[in-house]
């Protein structure tokens, strides 16, 4: 349960006040749900893409974006099927395969998914978990709620890493890659089930460790909690807040003038 998405580095986002980063991330997430055209949302997502690559580097970015590309590929493949009303763009005989409205809806969904993933990825990669707890506590969030939120952020990468390790272990029992490529889809899915079951069992075994980590972090204590780290004050905090809300404000202005 000590796995974290935080990666030490240098840059403005690492020095930025964590309150401004969390507030800007929440506002950016809300702005992506405004009913804007797909190209506007994609411009915002591409801007975050450039910031992510510039902050994390290409190698770290590839590790984060790889699962996102798979999900977006599945959305692009199957979402237009459910939007068959409107101007047809692609037809197979008399059957409408793709419509203009369905394509627009799919592009909007992918832009929102990419933009929100990039914004939260930036927050978790550049902010230590203890600073997120301090921010939530400064916003008068109860300690238990703040602790649960940060533990969820830790459990997601832990579960992903466990799945990768279990999959590598199960690959040792399977035939070589050349033979697996010739197997049917049903056989591949059957071979995948033991990996998924082992991952779930491993996650269930971590429940006692999760309870212990909660106790070590002071859950259940009645005495006042102290902190060795204080959040900064001054004009720098104001500047960080101003920079963090530039993109949400631009999207909101575009929405109001549209």
pLDDT in tens, 93-143: 776 667 777 778 888 888 898 899 889 888 888 888 888 888 888 888 887
Per domain, the residue ranges of the chain are: 1-127+228-258, 129-225
Label residue 83 by pLDDT band (50, 70, 90). Answer: low
Residue 18 near residue 241 (C-beta atoms within 8 A): no
DSSP H stretches of helix in 32-57: 38-56
pLDDT in tens, 178-211: 676 776 767 767 777 777 777 777 777 776 766 6
Mean per-residue pLDDT for 216-236?
Answer: 68
**pTM for this model (two decimals):** 0.72
Label residue 215 by pLDDT band (50, 70, 90). Answer: low
Each as own residue / partner, the long-range contacts of residues 76-85 (CB below 8 Å, 24 or more positions apart, any chain) are 76/106, 76/110, 79/105, 79/106, 79/109, 80/106
Tokens 């780290």, residue located = 229
Residue 117 near residue 32 (C-beta atoms within 8 A): no
Mean per-residue pLDDT for 57-81?
Answer: 70
> Is 32 a residue whose pLDDT tops 90?
yes
C-alpha torsion sign, points 229, 235, 238, 240: negative
Q: What is residue 211's predicted lDDT score, i.e. its pLDDT?
A: 66
> Is 58 a residue whose pLDDT tops 70?
yes
Label residue 31 by pLDDT band (50, 70, 90). Answer: very high
């Amino acid at each position: 349960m000590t796995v974290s998405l935080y990666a030490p580095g240098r840059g403005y986002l690492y020095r930025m006040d964590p309150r401004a980063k969390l507030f800007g991330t929440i506002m950016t997430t809300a702005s992506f749900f405004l009913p804007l055209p797909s190209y506007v949302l994609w411009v915002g997502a591409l801007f975050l893409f450039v910031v992510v690559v510039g902050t994390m580097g290409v190698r770290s970015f590839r590790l984060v974006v790889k699962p996102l590309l798979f999900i977006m590929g599945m959305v692009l493949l199957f979402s237009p099927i459910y939007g068959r009303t409107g101007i047809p763009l692609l037809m197979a005989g008399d059957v409408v395969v793709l419509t203009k409205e369905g394509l627009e809806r799919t592009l909007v969904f992918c832009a929102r998914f990419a933009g929100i993933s990039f914004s939260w990825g930036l927050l978790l990669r550049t902010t230590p978990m203890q600073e997120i707890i301090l921010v939530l506590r400064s916003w008068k969030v109860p300690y238990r709620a703040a602790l649960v939120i940060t533990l969820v952020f830790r459990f997601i990468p832990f579960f992903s890493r466990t799945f990768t390790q279990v999959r590598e272990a199960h690959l040792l029992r399977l035939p070589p890659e050349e033979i697996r490529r010739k197997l049917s889809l049903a056989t591949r899915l059957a071979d995948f089930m033991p990996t998924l079951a082992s991952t779930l069992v491993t996650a269930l075994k971590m429940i006692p460790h999760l309870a212990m980590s909660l106790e070590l972090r002071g859950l259940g204590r009645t005495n006042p909690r102290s902190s060795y780290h204080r959040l900064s004050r001054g004009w720098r905090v104001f500047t960080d807040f101003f920079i963090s809300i530039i993109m949400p404000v631009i999207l909101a202005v575009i929405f109001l003038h549209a």
